[in-house]
């Protein structure tokens, strides 16, 4: 079904009984022009000398945003014929498209263009396209439409577009990676330390604290307990955060936050992880008591 939009355009015409407005229809509906007769358009009288105005859309200028009235009508007509992408609105006057069904570029791009016309008219701002890895063939045509990469996960790529002619205020991708260092201290004043088989300390003979990266949705205390268990087999209880530090350009241009956590061991049988560690043991340290 094709939906026809009506718009009222006011004409100042001489004569006290002359009509004050006329419905303007899209180009696909025949417009009444010249001298209107009662047989051709209901509501106007034949041969009226008062009604000399031409209704040609070529002579009408009605601007909505940056489109002329005629361009807007034609664009809306294309939108109604082509259809729109399934999308939801976010809290910030933006649009989120989550692609799930298989679709090739010949089918997708006309839908995207028609949707962008509609969203621009509605005053929308950011457009987010979540593209699953199975639709990787759409990446290039979407980028050619002006979209840019925002971030990627193992199973999807997120592309974004800023519609208004204003500074782009879309939030940037994650700026930091978060890690932990585990300071595991037993009641004898001994600290759990490890030698790494890979990484920056490989082959140096340096003993260090167990460290690792906090997972998505994981709390810092939970991450410290998990890393100690994975690397050394020791069950431990989180006590407190002792310190943290920030460094930049640490991981593919991302900054790094490292939290040093104090833990108390609940088991004492060390079982080192052979894949990452060369050795793990407890070392004597002097604890000064006040």
* Spatial separation of the C-alpha atoms in residues 238 and 204, rounded to whole Å: 29
Burial of 52 (0-12, 13-18, 19+ CB in 10 A): exposed
Closest CA relative to residue 247, chosen from 257, 262, 238: 257
Q: How far is CA 37 from the centre of its chain?
A: 56
Tell me which residue of 81, 86, 275 sits closest to 194, measured CA to CA. 275
Spatial contact of 21 and 72, defined as CB atoms under 8 Å apart: no
Helix, strand, coil tally for the chain in percent (to 5): 20, 30, 50
Collapse the DSSP code of 88 into the 3-class scheme (helix H, G, I; strand E, B; otherwise coil) and give the result: strand
Pairing mode of beta strands 176-184, 254-265: parallel
Q: How many angstroms from the chain centroid is the CA of residue 178?
A: 22
Q: Which of 107, 218, 230, 237 is an active site residue?
A: 230
* Residue 162 CB contacts under 8 Å (≥ 6 apart), including other chains: 125, 126, 127, 168, 169, 170
CB 6 within 8 A of CB 24: yes
| 230 among known catalytic residues | yes
> What Cα–Cα distance (Å) separates residue 202 from each residue in 251, 273, 276?
18, 15, 10
H or E element that contains 105: helix 105-121
Residue positions annotated with a catalytic role: 230
């Amino acid at each position: 079904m094709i939906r026809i939009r009506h718009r009222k355009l006011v004409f100042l015409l001489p004569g006290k009984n002359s009509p004050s407005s006329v419905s303007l229809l899209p180009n696909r509906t025949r417009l009444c022009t010249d001298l209107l007769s009662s047989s051709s358009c209901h509501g106007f009288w034949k041969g009226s000398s008062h009604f000399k105005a031409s209704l040609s859309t070529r002579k009408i200028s009605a601007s909505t945003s940056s489109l002329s009235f005629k361009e807007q009508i034609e664009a809306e007509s294309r939108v109604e014929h082509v259809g729109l992408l399934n999308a939801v609105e976010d809290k910030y006057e933006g649009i989120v498209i989550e692609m799930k069904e298989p679709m090739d570029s010949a089918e997708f791009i006309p839908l995207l263009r028609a949707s962008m016309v509609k969203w621009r008219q509605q005053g929308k701002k950011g457009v987010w396209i979540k593209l699953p890895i199975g639709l990787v063939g759409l990446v290039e045509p979407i980028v050619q439409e002006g979209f840019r990469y925002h971030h990627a996960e193992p199973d999807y790529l997120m592309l974004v577009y800023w519609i208004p002619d204003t500074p782009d205020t879309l939030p940037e991708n994650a700026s930091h990676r978060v890690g932990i260092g585990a300071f595991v201290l037993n009641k004898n004043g001994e600290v759990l330390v490890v030698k790494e088989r890979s990484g920056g300390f490989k082959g140096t003979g340096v003993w260090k604290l167990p460290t690792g990266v906090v997972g998505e949705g994981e709390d810092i205390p939970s991450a410290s307990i998990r890393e100690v268990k994975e690397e050394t087999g020791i069950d431990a209880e989180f006590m407190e955060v002792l310190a943290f530090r920030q460094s930049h350009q640490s991981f593919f241009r991302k900054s790094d936050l490292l939290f040093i956590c104090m833990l108390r061991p609940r088991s004492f049988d060390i079982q080192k992880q052979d894949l990452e560690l060369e050795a793990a043991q407890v070392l004597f340290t002097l604890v000064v008591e006040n």
